[in-house]
A and B are shown apart, each in its own frame.
Chain A
Amino acid sequence: MTTPRIELRHVSKTFSGIEHAVPALKDISFKVMPGEFVTIIGASGSGKSTLFNLCVGLLEPDEGEILIDGERPDNRAGMVGYMPQRDLLLPWRSVLDNVLIPLEIQGIPRRESRQRALEMLSHFGLETFEKEYPSALSGGMRQRAALLRTWLMGRSTLLLDEPFGALDALTRKELQNWLLKVWQEFGRTVMFITHDVEEAVYLADRVIVLSARPGEIKRELKIDLPRPRRQRMIAEPDFGKLVRELLTELGVDV
Chain B
Amino acid sequence: MNWRRDIVPPTALIAILIIGWYFVAKVSGLSSFILPTPLDVIQAGWETRALLLNAIGTTLLATGIGLVLALITGIGIAALVDFWPLAHRALYPILVVSQTIQILAIAPILIIWFGFGVTPTILIVVLFCFFPLAISTADGLTSSDPELIALLRAMGAKKWQIWRMVRMPSALPSFFSGLRLAVTYSVVAATIGEWVGGSPGLGLYMLKSKNALATDQVFVAMFITSLLSVGLFMLVYGIERLALPWYHSTQRTEQWDDLGIY
Q: Mark A74-114, 1 if CB is under 8 A from B, else 0.
A: 00011100101010101111000000011011100000000
B161 adjacent to chain A (CB < 8 Å):
yes
Other-chain contact of B153, A77, A91, A101, A102 (Cβ < 8 Å): A77
B156 adjacent to chain A (CB < 8 Å):
yes
A133 adjacent to chain B (CB < 8 Å):
yes
Other-chain contact of A77, B145, B154, B165, B169 (Cβ < 8 Å): B154
Pairwise interchain contact A105-B155, C-beta atoms closer than 8 A: yes
Pairwise interchain contact A135-B249, C-beta atoms closer than 8 A: yes
Total A-B Cβ pairs within 8 A: 65
> Chain A residues near B245 (CB, 8 Å)?
133
Other-chain contact of A82, B151, B166, B244 (Cβ < 8 Å): B151
Pairwise interchain contact B154-A135, C-beta atoms closer than 8 A: no
Closest chain-A Cβ to B95's Cβ sits at a distance in Å of 28
Pairwise interchain contact A90-B166, C-beta atoms closer than 8 A: yes
> Chain B residues near A167 (CB, 8 Å)?
none
Closest chain-A Cβ to B255's Cβ sits at a distance in Å of 9
Other-chain contact of A136, B155, B169, B172, B251 (Cβ < 8 Å): B251
A246 adjacent to chain B (CB < 8 Å):
no
Q: Mark A59-81, 1 if CB is under 8 A from B, else 0.
A: 00000000000000000011100
Other-chain contact of B147, A77, A79, A88, A105 (Cβ < 8 Å): A88
Q: Mark B146-187, 1 if CB is under 8 A from A, else 0.
A: 011011111111100100011001101000000000000000
CB nearest neighbor in B for A135: B251
Known: A90-B169, A92-B244, A135-B252. A102 touches B145 (CB 8 A): no
Closest chain-B Cβ to A61's Cβ sits at a distance in Å of 16
Chain A interface residue count, CB cutoff 8 Å, equals: 24
A153 adjacent to chain B (CB < 8 Å):
yes
Q: What CA separation (Å) do A133 and B157 show in the bound complex?
A: 22
> Chain A residues near B152 (CB, 8 Å)?
101, 105
B256 adjacent to chain A (CB < 8 Å):
no
Q: What CA separation (Å) do A105 and B246 show in the bound complex?
A: 22
Q: Which of B153, B154, B166 has the most CB of A within 10 A?
A: B154
B247 adjacent to chain A (CB < 8 Å):
yes
> Chain B residues near A101 (CB, 8 Å)?
152, 155, 165
Closest chain-A Cβ to B114's Cβ sits at a distance in Å of 41
A58 adjacent to chain B (CB < 8 Å):
yes
Known: A90-B165, A90-B169. A58 touches B154 (CB 8 A): yes
Q: Mark B226-262, 1 if CB is under 8 A from A, else 0.
A: 0000000000000000001111010110000000000
Q: Which of B155, B157, B251 has the most CB of A within 10 A?
A: B155
> Chain B residues near A250 (CB, 8 Å)?
none
Q: What CA separation (Å) do A141 and B154 show in the bound complex?
A: 23
Binding site secondary structure of chain A: loop
Other-chain contact of A78, B147, B156, B172, B246 (Cβ < 8 Å): B156
CB nearest neighbor in A for B170: A92
Other-chain contact of B145, A56, A58, A88 (Cβ < 8 Å): A88
> Chain A residues near B145 (CB, 8 Å)?
88
> Chain B residues near A136 (CB, 8 Å)?
249, 251
Q: What CA separation (Å) do A57 and B152 show in the bound complex?
A: 12
Q: Mark B96-124, 1 if CB is under 8 A from A, else 0.
A: 00000000000000000000000000000
Closest chain-A Cβ to B42's Cβ sits at a distance in Å of 45
CB nearest neighbor in B for A78: B156
Pairwise interchain contact A86-B165, C-beta atoms closer than 8 A: no
Pairwise interchain contact B246-A133, C-beta atoms closer than 8 A: yes
Residues in B8-37 with C-beta less than 8 Å from chain A: none
Q: Mark A143-177, 1 if CB is under 8 A from B, else 0.
A: 00000000001000000000000000000000000
Q: What CA separation (Å) do A104 and B152 show in the bound complex?
A: 11
- Beyond known contacts A84-B147, A84-B150, A92-B170: 10 more, CB 8 A cutoff: A57-B154, A77-B153, A78-B156, A88-B145, A90-B165, A92-B244, A105-B161, A133-B246, A133-B249, A135-B252
A-B contacts, 20 of them at CB < 8 A, read: A77-B153, A77-B154, A77-B155, A78-B155, A82-B151, A82-B155, A84-B150, A84-B151, A91-B246, A92-B172, A92-B244, A93-B246, A101-B165, A104-B161, A105-B156, A105-B157, A105-B158, A133-B246, A133-B251, A136-B251
Q: Which residues of B contact A (CB under 8 A)?
A: 145, 147-148, 150-158, 161, 165-166, 169-170, 172, 244-247, 249, 251-252
9 closest A-B pairs by beta carbon, nearest first, are A78-B156, A56-B154, A77-B156, A92-B246, A105-B157, A92-B169, A82-B154, A133-B246, A102-B155
